[in-house]
Amino acid sequence: MPFGFGGAALRIAISPGGTATLMSKMRLANVNAAQWSSRFEIGKDEPANVFGANVFGQTEQRQRLPKHVFRALQRTIERSEELDPSIADVVAAAMKDWALEHGATHYTHWFQPLTGLTAEKHDSFFGPIGDGTALAAFSGSELVQGEPDASSFPTGGIRATFEARGYTAWDPTSPAFLLVNPNGTVLCIPTAFTSWTGEALDHKIPLLRSMEALNKAALRALRLLGDHAATRVFTTMGPEQEYFLIDKTFYYQRPDLINTGRTLFGAKPPKGHELDDHYFGSIPERVLACMLDTERELMKLGVPIKTRHNEVAPAQYEIAPIFENSNVGCDHQQLLMTVLKNVAPRYDLVALLHEKPFAGVNGSGKHNNWSMGTDVGENLLDPGDTPEDNLHFLFFAAAVIKAVDTHQGLLRASVASAGQDHRLGANEAPPAIISIFLGTELENVFDALARGEVYVSPAGELMGLGSPVLPTLPKHAGDRNRTSPFAFTGNKFEFRALGSSMSPGLPNTVLNTIAAEAIDNLCEDLESAIGGGVSVKEAIAQVVGGAYRDHNRIVFGGDNYAEEWHAEAERRGLLNLRTTPEALPELISPATIATFDNYGVLNERELHSRFDVFLEQYVTNINIEAETAADIASTMLLPAALRYLELISASGISAVDGEVRPLVEKFVAAIADLKAVNDEHPEGTESEAVYMRDSVLVAMAGVRKYADALERLVADDLWPLPKYAEILFIK
């Protein structure tokens, strides 16, 4: 039982040998956190292969649907043909029967509002009938359309508070799945979310629109390039998700983590990741158990996980799926984040997805690997083995270069958030300057085309590894560049600037739309050249070379972290939008509005709604952080410091008093300043966002400066918050 002694909470602990010892609250928490042991075996009573077991996918559809219905549904999924409404009742009945066989009692339209999270309202399959019993029913109309309250989600002014009506619409291209809980199962139907007046209120609708826009532009290009086999082009994405796992004992003792997702206080620990000993290291047993369980749950949901490993920072990890169709991949990414957070507590852990949960150690991103593929299996961003394949690749790669240069500000805006502002440009993630890394070999090819010449690659070199036991390896045409925000990595582009907590829907929507525009622009140039009597091959070389001449300022292969690059980027005319208030206006720039409206992806009203929503979220998140910081500082950290001053006074050692008391006085003043700054905000969201950045965040940093200094001085048993050294290193 705890008892008081000199202001410190102590507990009696019994050692294994039976000896009673006194232990501080914090030390006891550390011991508890370190005593995890496995309590069950994952998948003990399940078959070995569970992939897709909880998904109403193609296998289940083929078995349960009449042939003509199955074929009609597949045409919608594979070719984006309009769904025949007459088959909805048949699909709904089969889906219901499958779900009931798996223990489901409810269904929900699962959608992705502009909160960045997912949403669901559960409805029962069962309804009462006249004889006092209940009958399970699920109609085609219930499958196709739902009606959540649209005014209760962020709309950016599209829906007023009193205008409640909105709709969810079934997305047949993303398979339904089961959400399994120990006490029941729910059928989840991926849906789009729209207002009563037809505007997109989610991330799915614009993503699907952008995929169709790119399909049309890419097919146009393929026909000009002589490819008549492909009938559809789709984009693929494969996000590499970084995250932290910490013991829940520490999480629940940190109000800042609970309320904001990041630590607002915390002194730098004696050891961080400077020894590089965590990266790709042996995975701790508890963490590996959690990973294996997470991956098994994701396998049941049809999410194809490929990679797991320790990341750079202590307690940081990564999970990455195989590439998928962008729409399904974005849905799966939302499921992945949900499953991570749901599984971790089984192991007394908490998954942190904030971009910067701990100051002074690396934050977390979500590297978005993006490419274009055809329905006949061709990757349009794979150089290939023949000159014709290479010409096709160079055309589409040139279109991406043109797109990124033309809309660099929009790409930056697509990944902007309060959490990202702690990470981007901090020598751990790509800078806020968007640039493209191509690699030396590919740069040489494009440079030659820009000069009107043909580049001949040197013979492939082999890399000897210094031992007859080890095989020789072919050298890649280009090195990788971990500092680049947008890098070509062999057969895809890797957009490395996404934040770990964000939906990849908007960044992929932007990539698809701007690539569609660039492809169409190059098609026009190609048609003009061919019409002038130039052969197709010569026309491609001319168009690609011209595009590279016009847009090669965006290509940079050096150190993106270097200060010299910032100066060089400015000379090149590249944007450096360091913070969210600077970046978000790119969402509503005339160029963005024109492009998105032209391709029917988002109209001006829908773009303005997103700008308003994201700006409001930025302000709200920082306001929550500021109030949380003031509360913790006033009610937890300052009292601890004052108790320590009492202890010092009782000791009579003036030298210690002279070190601590001035810090406490500055801490008190900083807290007062934070409270004053956060009391009165200017009118207007744009002005308020700038105020939060320039005034509130600065005041928060002032409070943290003195709090973190005091953490290093105040007696350990008085300090109320778990420290970084405990949170990050107790596995």
List, in order, residues 6 or more apart from 512 with CB less than 8 Å away. Answer: 207, 210, 211, 213, 214, 235, 326, 601
What count of other Cβ atoms lies within 10 Å of the Cβ of residue 46? Answer: 11
509 and 388 housed in the same domain: yes
- Residue 706: inside a domain, yes or no? yes
Residue 324 reports pLDDT greater than 90 = yes
- For residues 253 and 357, membership in a common domain is answered with yes
Residue whose C-alpha is closest to residue 317's, from 283, 344, 354 = 283
Q: Do both 348 and 373 map to the same domain?
A: no
Distances (CA, A) of 22 to 7, 28, 196: 14, 10, 64
Confidence of residue 84 (pLDDT cuts 50, 70, 90): confident
pLDDT tens-digit map of 10-46: 444 444 444 444 456 777 777 777 777 776 666 667 7
Lowest mean pLDDT among 66-75, 330-339, 586-595: 66-75
pLDDT digits (tens, 9 = 90+) for 483-492: 899 999 989 9
CA distance 525 to 452: 16
Here the tokens at position 442 are 């590919």
CA distances from 442 to 186, 401, 412, 479, 613 (A): 50, 12, 24, 11, 40
How confident is the model over 171-203, as pLDDT tens digits?
999 999 999 998 999 999 999 999 988 899 999
Residue 320, domain CATH:
3.30.590.10
222: in domain: no
614-673 pLDDT, tens per residue? Answer: 999 999 999 999 999 999 999 999 999 999 999 999 988 888 899 999 999 999 999 999
94 and 126 both lie in a single domain = yes
With respect to residue 250, please indicate whether it lies within any of the assigned structural domains.
yes
- Last residue in a domain, options 202, 223, 253: 202
Q: Is 149 helix (H, G, I), strand (E, B) or coil?
A: strand
Q: Tell whether 45 is covered by a domain.
A: no
Question: 542 and 412: one domain?
Answer: yes
Residue 211 belongs to some domain of the structure:
no
Tell me, yes or no, whether 44 lies in a domain: no
Query: DSSP secondary structure string, 348-397?
Result: TEEEE--S-SSTTS---BEEEEEEEEETTS-BTTS--SSHHHHHHHHHHH
Please say which residue of 153, 178, 202 terminates a domain.
Answer: 202
**CA distances (Å), 274 to each of 245, 420, 425, 431, in order?**
19, 23, 19, 21
pLDDT at 457: 63
Tell me: do 331 and 389 sit in the same domain: no
The answer on 480 and 346 residing in a single domain is: no
| Confidence tier at 440 by pLDDT (50, 70, 90) | confident
Flag whether pLDDT at 1 surpasses 70: no
In the chain, the number of structural domains is 5
pLDDT of residue 156: 87
Does residue 533 form part of some domain? yes
- 220-241 pLDDT tens trace: 999 999 999 999 999 999 999 9
Residue 468 maps to a domain: no
With residue 22 as reference, give the H or E element that holds it.
strand 20-24
Q: Give the lowest-confidence range in 40-49, 430-439, 722-731.
A: 40-49
Instruction: Report how far residue 623's alpha carbon sits from residue 148's, in angstroms, rounded to the nearest whole number.
Output: 28
Task: Output the average pLDDT for the chain.
Answer: 89
Residue 208 structure tokens:
């699907």
- Is residue 373 domain-shared with residue 353, that is, in the same domain? no
Residues 326 and 398 in one domain: no
Q: Which domain holds residue 554?
A: 366-457+475-601
The amino acid that residue 357 corresponds to is: P
Q: Are residues 264 and 182 in the same domain?
A: no
CATH number of the domain where residue 640 is located? 1.20.120.1560
Tally of CB atoms within 10 A around 79: 11
Question: Poorest-confidence range of 5-14, 588-597, 701-710?
Answer: 5-14
Rounded to whole angstroms, how far apart are CA atoms 223 and 117? 40
What pLDDT shows up at residue 207? Answer: 97
Lowest mean pLDDT among 33-37, 470-474, 521-525, 708-712: 470-474
Domain CATH code at residue 177 = 3.10.20.70
pLDDT digits (tens, 9 = 90+) for 371-425: 999 999 999 999 877 666 788 899 999 999 999 999 999 999 999 999 999 998 8
Same domain membership, residue 537 and residue 437: yes
Same-domain check for residues 26 and 92: no
pLDDT (average), residues 567-583: 96
pLDDT tens digits for range 128-155 = 766 666 677 788 888 899 888 878 888 8
What's the chain's length in residues? 731
For residue 197, give the 3-state DSSP assignment: coil
* Last residue in a domain, options 577, 601, 625: 601
